[in-house]
Structure 1
Amino acid sequence: MNNLINNSSFIMIVDDTPQNLKLLETMLGEEGYRISAFLDGAMALKAAAKKPPDLILLDINMPGLNGFEVCEQFKADQKLADIPIIFLSAMNEVTDKIKAFQSGGVDYVTKPFQFEEIHARVKTHLNLRRLRKSLAIHNHNLQSLVDEQIKEILVTKDALFKTQLATILAFSKLAEVRDDETGQHIERTRVFCSILTEQLRVQCAVDTEIDNSFVDNIYFASSLHDIGKVAISDKILLKPGKLTPEEFGIMKTHTVVGSKTLQTMLEHYPENAFITMAMEITLSHHEKWDGSGYPQNLKGKSIPLSARIMALADVYDALTSERCYKPAFSHEKSRNIIIEGRGTHFDPEVIEAFLVLEGQFRKIKQDLRGYNVTRTL
């Protein structure tokens, strides 16, 4: 009756009656099972800790630890908890059987038993154990496969996102060089935004939305603030004189155009905080604290913080730079113009941060390389 499948199964028998141990050991041994027999529960627990069995046949009435206590200790040990335990007992009360299952047993056989019944129940629970192990391995392998696929998807999405970002940055540079002879407006303003944000975090340490992610995101997102200018004609963008009301109305659309461009990206990455911030900056960096800005006439803190920071950085760089319609103003003149805009054009808290950092602003304007801030997406 030896069974090749049984040869791999290791059964532990725990019973304080030597005759029962011998009988079970002989009968199960003839079926091809490997057997380990113990007269008390404490010894069985120590042996199982060194070499866990595949199944346990456990008596209840034993000196020292009874069967219920032994079972509970097996189930309390994470390494032994999943071993199926079949109770063998002369106790035939329903309450005893309930207690056996409550302590963690999977089955209950009443003494005196028939070997055919023992054999059938042992075989059933060993097969169930094999199936559970097989399922666990399958689930582990499946999870590993899913993890790998998710990783590949994320890598692909990240690469695609960076490609899209690089394309958008290229467009923003294209818009910049059309009305910025130095070609460094983006580089300067994103550094201005970065140091302003760090200073605001210090000033508003208790009540602030600024965290490390915000600081990193604004450095990159600010680069996209004028992306919508690619849609503005040279006739308007490079006009040396004052714009007519109609021309200025067209110029103002660059905020909406830029925001809609980024909206396409956000639809693919709806949880991406960087794109969300870039949209805020692109749409709202010409809003003013008193509500007189555009395109939505937002007022005060209804203007996103990122856009309020960008507004000052953008204006300072524009004031101190030569354009086709104006000469470059000095730091002092630009500073005074910005201060005059406290509470009307600019957020007063952002003005405070600027005044702390104005020496750095001057240096950055003179020599960007010494103050370049490196960020990695």
Structure 2
Amino acid sequence: MPESHKRVLIVDDEYYLGQMLAQALLQEKIEAMAVTDIDSAISWLERKKFDLIVSDVYLPGKTGMDLFNYVTAHNIEVPFIFMTGNPNLEMAIDFLTRGGYDYILKPFMIPEFIHKVKSVIKTHSLRKKEKKLVKDLRQLLASRLSELRIFQDVIESTDDGVLVTDVEGTIVKVNAGFEKITGLSSVQLLQQHLDVLRQTVLPGLDFKTILQELEANKTWNGELVGGRNHQDTWYVSITFSPVQNEESQIFAYAGIFKDVTEQREVEQALISSLQKMNLAQEAIIFGLANLAEQRDNITGFHLERIRAYCKALAEALYERHIYPHMVNAEFINMLYRTAPLHDIGKVGIPDYILLKKGRLSPAEFEIIKSHTTIGYNTLNSIRKQYGDMQFLKMGIEITYCHHERWDGNGYPRGLKGKQIPLSAQILAIADVYDALTTYRSYKSAFGHREAIEIMKKERGKHFSPKIFDVFLKIADRFDQIRMGFVESVPAVELNLPVPVEY
């Protein structure tokens, strides 16, 4: 039933009086059912809900008191008014003490009746709301007390440190976990300002900074390094949050202090181990690559230059936000470490071809080209045995694809454009620049500017236009790297044309 729609049950053996009262209430937009006996009234109560029962006391057969007894016995929550012309004091006391609302003495005026009905309905509605409010408050209080007990149990049982301050930063609560991880007792801490921790175990803890962060972001997270007993270094992860009342007013701050010293020590040991492993890994890679280079007439610092060129060009791409989804610090570092592997496949090329002075025959050049597939097969067999490590993945890309060309005329697979891995696109520019600017058994060294002019003709053919344009912008950096690795040049140089394969 909508809250605005009210319904009244009228019980009176005078049929016309009941109908008149029902009609008067209807004009006030109050629905009314008028019956002349108790059984009919009970029948209506079984079918509908009412906001008020108005019954005559004296009825044929059963009385109004019998109806009241039925209502109370069946826990029907509805206010009850008696109408009577012969009030009985004893009955009235019994009626009112058992929950009856009021009496209307006959005879009465219709406006008086309507006023009484509206007043009782309104009063009962307010009492219901008040009763519900009291019930809700009791439930809320019981819930809060239960939560408080649970919260207290959690605070005391957790190994993490829990600290509570008032809004001024005065410590009002610490748990046993906090005492354990700080080495400070509650006697030393309670009623002290939070700054006592800065003076003892956590020099980096600043309440003003925490408060500013809490006002801006509703929470403060940090990790600090401190010292327990003025000697033990410890790491603690801290989270501070405001505590609010029902009106969302902050009345305290709660801090969770988690000792992460052991975790950080394990992490540092792991980092140290990984660094050592990476150094060993890099030494092995460089040694393998250098082994291949020793069989060639490429002298001295070729591998160091190649990796330095690649690093410089990759950093320039990163700074200009070119290929941002690929070029990051990890990519640059991995490229620097794996670039020396590019010609590792030359270990499988016969000496009479690898060390030949002068031009290669077409058949010999086909054999030279196979160093890319030899290198690929070598590294891929390692990958199958040890898994997809990132340095092997990039090493395979570089070894297999550094002689592919942007226009698709490279080898071994004739990849074109973006089909060529980015690492190989970068290395191709570095490798050609180094080949042009250093002495080889079949050619003399070109100067920096001459090499740049030759390479410009290969933009969009051999090299990616986008990457080559960046190379041109940092070409002086390549020259600086080249000059940093000085090599002795044979007294007699052959001034031969640049071979197709560089």
Task: Assess same fold via TM > 0.5.
Answer: yes
After superposition, what is the alpha-carbon deviation per residue over 1:215-247, rounded to whole angstroms, capped at 9, x for unaligned? 111111101111111111111111112212221
- Distance in 1, matches of 2:268 and 2:477, equals 42
2:406 and 2:463 in contact (8 A); partners too: yes
- Distance in 2, matches of 1:153 and 1:181, equals 39
* 2:145 paired residue number: 70
1:324 matched to 2:438: no
1:351 matched to 2:427: no
2:401 and 2:420 in contact (8 A); partners too: yes
- Distance in 1, matches of 2:331 and 2:469, equals 19
After superposition, what is the alpha-carbon deviation per residue over 1:340-366, rounded to whole angstroms, capped at 9, x for unaligned? 000010011121111111112122212
After superposition, what is the alpha-carbon deviation per residue over 1:290-327, rounded to whole angstroms, capped at 9, x for unaligned? 01101111100110111000001000000111111111
Match among 356, 371, 384 for residue 254 of structure 1 = 371
- Distance in 2, matches of 1:325 and 1:252, equals 17
Amino acid at match of 1:70: L
- Structure 1 residues 206 and 231, CA gap change in structure 2 (3 angstroms): closer
After superposition, what is the alpha-carbon deviation per residue over 1:164-218, rounded to whole angstroms, capped at 9, x for unaligned? 5433321211221332453211000111000100111223357441000011111
- Distance in 1, matches of 2:366 and 2:323, equals 40
Task: Find the residue that maps to 1:260 and give its secondary structure.
Answer: helix
2:314 and 2:426 in contact (8 A); partners too: yes
- Distance in 2, matches of 1:290 and 1:225, equals 21
Task: Find the residue that maps to 2:474 and give its secondary structure.
Answer: helix
- Structure 1 residues 274 and 74, CA gap change in structure 2 (3 angstroms): farther
More helix by share: 1
Alignment of 1:1-377 (within 5 A): 68-76=143-151, 78-80=154-156, 163=280, 165-205=282-322, 207-267=324-384, 269-368=386-485
Structure label with greater radius of gyration: 2
Amino acid at match of 2:336: Y
1:75 and 1:81 in contact (8 A); partners too: no
After superposition, what is the alpha-carbon deviation per residue over 1:104-137, rounded to whole angstroms, capped at 9, x for unaligned? xxxxxxxxxxxxxxxxxxxxxxxxxxxxxxxxxx
Task: Find the residue that maps to 2:380 and give its secondary structure.
Answer: helix
| Percent identity between the two aligned chains | 40
1:322 and 1:328 in contact (8 A); partners too: yes
| TM superposition shift of 1:256 | 1.4
TM-score by length of 2: 0.44
2:316 and 2:470 in contact (8 A); partners too: yes
- Distance in 1, matches of 2:276 and 2:380, equals 19
1:227 and 1:258 in contact (8 A); partners too: yes
2:282 and 2:337 in contact (8 A); partners too: no
* 1:372 paired residue number: none
- Distance in 2, matches of 1:364 and 1:164, equals 24
After superposition, what is the alpha-carbon deviation per residue over 1:71-123, rounded to whole angstroms, capped at 9, x for unaligned? 222334542578xxxxxxxxxxxxxxxxxxxxxxxxxxxxxxxxxxxxxxxxx
Amino acid at match of 2:155: K
Q: Which has the higher contact order (CA 8 A, sep 6+)?
A: 1
More strand by share: 2
Number of equivalences: 246
| TM superposition shift of 1:273 | 2.1
After superposition, what is the alpha-carbon deviation per residue over 1:222-281, rounded to whole angstroms, capped at 9, x for unaligned? 011111111111111111122122211111111111122222343355353222111111
* 2:81 paired residue number: none
Amino acid at match of 1:169: F
- Structure 1 residues 165 and 258, CA gap change in structure 2 (3 angstroms): farther
| TM superposition shift of 1:68 | 4.3
Amino acid at match of 1:262: L
1:168 and 1:227 in contact (8 A); partners too: no
1:74 and 1:80 in contact (8 A); partners too: no
| TM superposition shift of 1:332 | 2.0
Task: Find the residue that maps to 2:295 and give its secondary structure.
Answer: helix
- Structure 1 residues 161 and 258, CA gap change in structure 2 (3 angstroms): farther
- Structure 1 residues 359 and 160, CA gap change in structure 2 (3 angstroms): closer
Task: Find the residue that maps to 2:395 and give its secondary structure.
Answer: helix
2:317 and 2:323 in contact (8 A); partners too: no
TM-score by length of 1: 0.58
- Structure 1 residues 269 and 79, CA gap change in structure 2 (3 angstroms): farther
